[in-house]
Structure 1
Amino acid sequence: MAGLSATGALSPRTVVAHTSGAHGLVVLGEVNGLALHPAMTFTGTDADLARLPGIAWGVTARDRVFAARLVTELGGIPEWIAEQARPTYHAALAHGANHLVTLVNEAADLLRAAGVQRPEVVLSPLLHAALDNALAMGDAALTGPVSRGDAGTVRKHLDHLTPESAPAYLALARRTAERAVAAGRLRPQDAILLLDVLSTVGSPA
């Protein structure tokens, strides 16, 4: 930005915007800038544009009125993000969206290993319901063996997972157990055996 300013390419009235999620205004230096990040996944297909109307945009701006008008004209909803909170904001989106793709594909691979020919038919209604419930109910949407403290089933899962899938399952099961206990979905006394399995499996000998 300093180079462009020095060449005169940027006038005092020029507004510069970037769409990085992790960065705010610091990377733009002293120019009149906006950080406008569309909270949407883009795969380079024709479906991308159709997903834009109505989505949130993570906005960091000195001129909030101008930024809000611009985002609104793009069909979006401004969500104001403080400069120092941009990395946390972006980590949340990457954790939720990018890792979701990996998680879904891991589940699909396991179903194929179990002999299911069309994993998407099995997963689609289940995962859509789980996502809807999670967004509406938070941790109250937790179901399954971890939320029940069913250590035996979890141990059986771990015994049958591939070496590639087991570490991710284990990490998510541990975090699920922590959240289930904190939310009151799983009583601490009912979690003892489960937590023992989760703390010993995958630990160094």
Structure 2
Amino acid sequence: MDSAAALGRIAIIGAGRMGTALAGAFREAGLEVTGPLGRGADGAGSEVVLLSVPDRAIAEAAAVVPPRPGLLVGHCSGATTLAPLAGHEGFSLHPLMTAPRSGARFTGATAAVDGSTPRALEAATALATSVGMRPVQVQEEDRAAYHASAAVASNFLTTVLDLAEALAGSAGVERERLRPIVQAAVDNWSRDGGAEALTGPVARGDDATVARHREAVARRRPEDLELFDALVAATRRLANRLDQGPSSV
């Protein structure tokens, strides 16, 4: 198909953050959208039904949609295969992007897509590109690993940054002061990869400084001491990938 507009009306079922964000983005792209609709809607009058519901609810939501010739039914889950869409010509479209309460912008983001037929895969690809996403097909056996990478990159990173914010705050330093070093670390990782981008006391083998860090965490964030220890161990494994020189950070 030439564009997502050729798909016809798209019904989005699920009024959470992602469903709401996708509905807005598709409308901005000039697509005909119904919703987001609440769970239990059947998507009547639409040529495409996109389920933006929790993974555990996909099969139930799909079962409410009556099969009919030409209808495409998709879900937005990153970890789930197409199995819960059985009985439909199914596809998946997972934006590799967070959708906070403030909304989401999808331009430039990757989208993991798949389809039970070539037409369904083509539809998922067209929907992704209509809002500026870059589609990549992820096979069913790889879905869990793919989605785990997304969780590590967004959720776990946020957890680590929350610890950094707490420690900085205990020293009278505001969260915004950490932004440049966080941005630089992300930029360096993006350009060079993890091992090459790694700096700091663990990378240069400064165990005395690491021990002082641990003492500070134990005093000021004792609930996160186990997390700190796990991060130090993982960082040492990363540092061992390369024979790194001295670090200035």
* Residue in 1 that maps onto 2:183: 128
In the alignment, the residues of structure 2 paired with residue 24 and residue 60 of structure 1 have an alpha-carbon distance, to the nearest angstrom, of 9
**8 Å contact kept, 1:4–1:10:** no
Letter of the aligned partner of 2:128 in structure 1? V
1:60 aligned onto 2:133: no
Letter of the aligned partner of 2:82 in structure 1? L
1:4 to partner: Cα distance: 6.4
1:130 to partner: Cα distance: 0.5
Letter of the aligned partner of 1:148 in structure 2? R
**8 Å contact kept, 2:62–2:85:** no
Aligned mate of 1:109, from 153, 162, 166: 166
State the SS of the aligned residue for 1:145. Answer: coil
In the alignment, the residues of structure 2 paired with residue 21 and residue 182 of structure 1 have an alpha-carbon distance, to the nearest angstrom, of 30
State the SS of the aligned residue for 2:199. Answer: coil
1:160 aligned onto 2:216: yes
Name the stretch that deviates more: 59-68 or 33-42: 59-68
- Please give the TM-score of this superposition, normalised by the length of structure 2: 0.67
Letter of the aligned partner of 1:142 in structure 2? L
Name the stretch that deviates more: 176-185 or 65-74: 65-74
State the SS of the aligned residue for 1:182. Answer: coil
1:3 to partner: Cα distance: 9.1
Q: Which runs of 5+ in 1 are unaligned?
A: 187-205
Q: 1:102-157 CA deviation, whole Å, 9 max, x = no partner?
A: 111111111111122x231x201110000000111111000000000111111111
Q: Which runs of 5+ in 2 are unaligned?
A: 1-58
Aligned mate of 1:176, from 231, 235, 238: 235
User: Equivalent residues in 2 for 1:187-198 (5 A)?
Assistant: none
**8 Å contact kept, 2:113–2:137:** yes
In the alignment, the residues of structure 2 paired with residue 171 and residue 55 of structure 1 have an alpha-carbon distance, to the nearest angstrom, of 30
State the SS of the aligned residue for 1:165. Answer: helix
In the alignment, the residues of structure 2 paired with residue 177 and residue 3 of structure 1 have an alpha-carbon distance, to the nearest angstrom, of 45
Q: 1:8-57 CA deviation, whole Å, 9 max, x = no partner?
A: 82203110011011102111113101110011111121x42xx2122110
In the alignment, the residues of structure 1 paired with residue 157 and residue 78 of structure 2 have an alpha-carbon distance, to the nearest angstrom, of 18
Change (3 A) 1:52 1:2: closer
Give the aligned CA root-mean-square deviation in angstroms. 2.0
State the SS of the aligned residue for 1:143. Answer: coil
1:31 aligned onto 2:85: no
- Please give the TM-score of this superposition, normalised by the length of structure 1: 0.81
Among all aligned residue pairs of Structure 1 and Structure 2, give the percentage whose two residues are the same amino acid: 34
User: Equivalent residues in 2 for 1:6-25 (5 A)?
Assistant: 9-25=66-82
In the alignment, the residues of structure 2 paired with residue 106 and residue 24 of structure 1 have an alpha-carbon distance, to the nearest angstrom, of 34
In the alignment, the residues of structure 1 paired with residue 149 and residue 226 of structure 2 have an alpha-carbon distance, to the nearest angstrom, of 21
1:2 to partner: Cα distance: 8.4
* Residue in 2 that maps onto 1:201: none
Letter of the aligned partner of 1:31 in structure 2? H
In the alignment, the residues of structure 1 paired with residue 241 and residue 168 of structure 2 have an alpha-carbon distance, to the nearest angstrom, of 31
Name the stretch that deviates more: 64-73 or 84-93: 64-73
In the alignment, the residues of structure 2 paired with residue 2 and residue 155 of structure 1 have an alpha-carbon distance, to the nearest angstrom, of 52
Letter of the aligned partner of 1:179 in structure 2? L
* Residue in 1 that maps onto 2:51: none
